[in-house]
Chain A
């Protein structure tokens, strides 16, 4: 479930109100914080713990992590109508579409991942 308004690139005020029953939407938005939409940017440098303990270079950048399904679909040269079936803890069917087409199968909540990743692919292309 997302509270993020993809089209406007900001937290959705109505969903923040729904999530907090209008008692702390602003507080929640502050704690959720800004969302870097550039998946390839740097979140910052590796902290001193990893430098001291494992010998990381202090200049080592940390890029945003992501979900396994979005990364799978972005890592493969998926063409329109191509599909990927991923067998794991949450079996998923991944496919690139031109837009969001929601189709919920009974007892298969993870089906929505397909739409989610397709949407991400669609909006970032």
Chain B
């Protein structure tokens, strides 16, 4: 859906006559409280995007020989998913109260969070309790994956990389 939507809006703007060569910068905003799960092929697939095919052809199901291409999970759970309730309670209790957690990090615990998919390798570390109790993470069999907030997703498609991937490559 994300891939098709981005191509669709850009295609319609092109058909309407927008001269993209005059665009000096792109930014955006969107709902934050939702997650997208990257697969371990995401970095490679994003770096190899070709203009003669669509995003979904190159990042979607089957791309790179992966079941879900650049993604490790077919769905994008949003804030209505409550499968990480126990982790939320652990975070709210970490500093003694949700208020203090908010003081330190700017936010008390939310169901959909960075915790839903902790990067793990199949061969090394044991599956954490977070993954045991997070249905989405278990289904995804997360392997070196990381999840992204909805609002950050397009910011990765446009440059074709994620900031930490770029730094790690050096």
Measuring CB to CB, which residues of chain A are less than 8 angstroms from any residue of chain B? 1-7, 12, 14-15, 18-21, 23-24, 27-28, 30-34, 36, 42-57, 59-72, 89-90, 100, 102, 104, 109-110, 112, 115-116, 119-120, 123
Contact = CB atoms under 8 A, between A and B. Distances in A.
A1 B166 CA distance: 25
A48 B49 contact: yes
A12 B104 contact: yes
Contacts of B109: 1
Interface residues of B, number: 71
A31 B165 CA distance: 8
A67 B151 contact: yes
Given A19-B115, A60-B25, A33 B32 contact: no
A65 B26 CA distance: 9
B20 A43 contact: no
Interface of B: 10-11, 13-14, 19-33, 46, 49-52, 55, 79, 88, 90-91, 94, 98-99, 102-111, 113-115, 118-120, 125-126, 128-130, 144, 146, 149, 151-152, 154-155, 158-168
A28 to B, nearest CB: 6
Contacts, number: 208
B103 to A, nearest CB: 5
A109 to B, nearest CB: 6
B136 to A, nearest CB: 15
B167 A24 contact: no
B159 A45 contact: yes
B130 A34 contact: no
A28 B154 contact: no
A115 B107 contact: yes
A24 B125 contact: yes
A50 B107 contact: no
B21 A23 contact: no
Given A33-B168, A100-B103, A112 B51 contact: no
Contacts of B46: 47
20 contacts: A1-B88, A1-B115, A2-B107, A6-B104, A19-B115, A19-B118, A24-B120, A31-B146, A43-B163, A49-B49, A50-B51, A55-B19, A55-B20, A57-B20, A59-B24, A60-B25, A62-B27, A64-B27, A70-B29, A109-B111
